Structure 1
Amino acid sequence: MTVAETNQHYDLDPEIFGRFLDPLRKYSSALYLDDGDSLAEAQEHKLRFVAGRLGLDGGERLLDVGCGWGALILFMAREYGCASLGVSPAARQHDYIAGRSAELGVGDLVSTRVGHFEDLDLPERSFDAVTMLGSIVHMPDLDAVFGKARAVLRRKGTLYVSESCFRSAAAHAAFDRRAGTGFVREEIFGWGDMRPLSELVAAAEGAGFTIVAVDDLTDHYRRTIDDWLANVDAAAAELDALGPGLAGRLRHYLEIANAGWGYTTKHYALTCRNSR
């Protein structure tokens, strides 16, 4: 395995993601505050939740690792005036973000870098906040990731990590080699490892972070994927026109992802402070 293998899913045609995600193309758990929330509303709730966990007041310098289609950096620039840098190894995402930032009038605040976070040359103590929403699962070296995140954060800066995890080390060992897990890892992404929360906490503490909050968002991710599945079904013909059998592969992936919530897998948000 090499880290370079992790971007195959995210280098697909951007139009694929536009068919089943919300209008912001946020590809991670939403936050449903009401039974009647739409996917779009819940994704905005989640972004405001992240802003709250980071303590954003406006104008901060933000780094989003694994920025996807730019939902977070575009939102934080538009709503909070944050100078936002997104990092992703998936080249197609950067052209899309550049276009959207210009359309939204935040091109002066939003920038991106192509590459893997661990390898990029970034100035130390240069960011007020770092976010990783569903991206650390694709990074093999936790110690390097958390160490780099702390190095680029100013003193008192905040790291927010949200990630899907096996619920324990025993579940990780028992289910990591199952056929469904292998399908998601090899056929969809290329590489990924859903570590138990304890491994994320240990790596964060080992890098020198103080843990200030842990939130269980498992039920919210289940509902998010239910909404994605409904969108896949509604757009099945359009998806299959973009790639034969694509709708079926996406449905299979999302059904596997939704099957284990609360039993073998959980989804947590971890907020860490660079206290020193």
Structure 2
Amino acid sequence: MSAVVDSAAPETAQTNQHYDLDPRIFGLFLDPRRKYSSGYYREPGLTLAQAQTAKLHFVADRLGLRAGDRLLDVGCGWGALILFMAQEYSARVVGISPAGNQHAYIAGRAAELGVADRVSTVQGHFEHAALPDGPFDAVTMLGSIVHMPDLGHVMRRARSLLRRGGRYYVSESCFRNAAARDEFDRRSGTEFVRQSIFGWGDMRPLSDLVRAAEDAGFSVISVDDLTDDYRQTIDDWIVNVDANAESIDRIAPGMAATLRRYLEVANAGWGYTTKHYALVCQRSR
């Protein structure tokens, strides 16, 4: 495992206030892999853990991932995706995240799973961090582009790192249109999530993501609506927060209520003000 430290530029969003919380907190409400994005509930009766595993297979399928492929995961979190792709698909993976405590956790898990030779991480912000030389076969951003102010730069850089024919997967929560963004972007719930949880974030409409991808030179391959899947994911996270509230508050007093409010805000607007999409693009030329 390797880490490259990179200082944040002024225009780079700061999100560490949330991700640098005690790692034990995330273990108390996420699934065992600590995957912090939407699951995939397309079969009845799936548990949170099963839905998250299904989502990882879904991502691999959308990417056409094969053994030996190189994958870069931007905003790798606790390593759920990169560890899974290394273990289940024999991919060579790189994760990047600005949150320092995530890297030691990933290194430990990679060693435990016997995939340390295929897993590396970079500490920093994707916009300007030093990254291993390309080309990569795939680049993924699951819930991370929302924290990146310069959408055009991000997508151009992602494309530059891909081989010809390589695929770019972005899953993100979006305001359902520009009017909803204008109306709800500064509501109290949205501001609470910004100020108390993540820091800067912009839930752009899907049309903005598609336009930026096409302007960067990508061809759009598919768009999947995962709104209901994310609603169910958050419902399951809330159940876990409630079940483990005392343990969470022993680590960080008052955190259980803060998490519950954040998750309730996130689930309040699905289908009305917000949607969740998976956008897959290809560097065709």
What one-letter code is carried by the residue in structure 1 that aligns with 2:233? Answer: T
TM-score, normalising length from structure 1? 0.98
Which residue does 2:212 correspond to in 1?
Answer: 203
Which residue does 2:160 correspond to in 1?
Answer: 151
Q: 1:117 aligns with which of 116, 126, 129?
A: 126
What one-letter code is carried by the residue in structure 1 that aligns with 2:165? Answer: K
Unaligned runs of 5+ in 1: none
- The answer to whether the 8 Å contact 1:125/1:155 transfers is no
Which residue does 1:33 correspond to in 2?
Answer: 42
- The answer to whether the 8 Å contact 2:170/2:278 transfers is yes
Q: 1:102 aligns with which of 99, 111, 123?
A: 111
- Percent same amino acid among aligned pairs? 68
Output one character per residue of 1:180-216: Cα deviation in whole Å (capped at 9) or x when no partner.
0000011101111100001000110010000000000
Which residue does 2:3 correspond to in 1?
Answer: none
Separation (CA, whole Å) in 2 of partners of 1:171 and 1:215: 20
Which residue does 1:8 correspond to in 2?
Answer: 17
* Local SS of the residue matching 2:172: strand
1:1-276 paired onto structure 2 within 5 Å? 2-122=11-131, 125-276=134-285
* Local SS of the residue matching 2:21: coil
What one-letter code is carried by the residue in structure 1 that aligns with 2:110? Answer: S
What one-letter code is carried by the residue in structure 1 that aligns with 2:154? Answer: V
Separation (CA, whole Å) in 2 of partners of 1:124 and 1:156: 17
- The answer to whether the 8 Å contact 2:66/2:91 transfers is no
Deviation at 1:21, TM superposition (A): 0.2
TM-score, normalising length from structure 2? 0.95
Deviation at 1:3, TM superposition (A): 2.0
- The answer to whether the 8 Å contact 2:17/2:198 transfers is yes
Q: State how many pairs are aligned.
A: 276
Deviation at 1:57, TM superposition (A): 2.0
Deviation at 1:6, TM superposition (A): 2.1
Separation (CA, whole Å) in 1 of partners of 2:148 and 2:269: 22
- The answer to whether the 8 Å contact 1:123/1:152 transfers is no
What one-letter code is carried by the residue in structure 1 that aligns with 2:255? Answer: L
- The answer to whether the 8 Å contact 2:31/2:52 transfers is yes
- The answer to whether the 8 Å contact 2:122/2:131 transfers is no
- The answer to whether the 8 Å contact 1:166/1:266 transfers is yes
Unaligned runs of 5+ in 2: 1-9
- The answer to whether the 8 Å contact 2:14/2:199 transfers is yes
Q: RMSD value over aligned CA atoms?
A: 1.0
Separation (CA, whole Å) in 2 of partners of 1:34 and 1:82: 27
Deviation at 1:79, TM superposition (A): 0.2
What one-letter code is carried by the residue in structure 2 that aligns with 1:3? Answer: T
Output one character per residue of 1:250-271: Cα deviation in whole Å (capped at 9) or x when no partner.
0000000000000000000000
- The answer to whether the 8 Å contact 2:13/2:148 transfers is no
Output one character per residue of 1:3-32: Cα deviation in whole Å (capped at 9) or x when no partner.
252221111111010000000000000001
Separation (CA, whole Å) in 2 of partners of 1:210 and 1:77: 27
What one-letter code is carried by the residue in structure 2 that aligns with 1:235? Answer: N
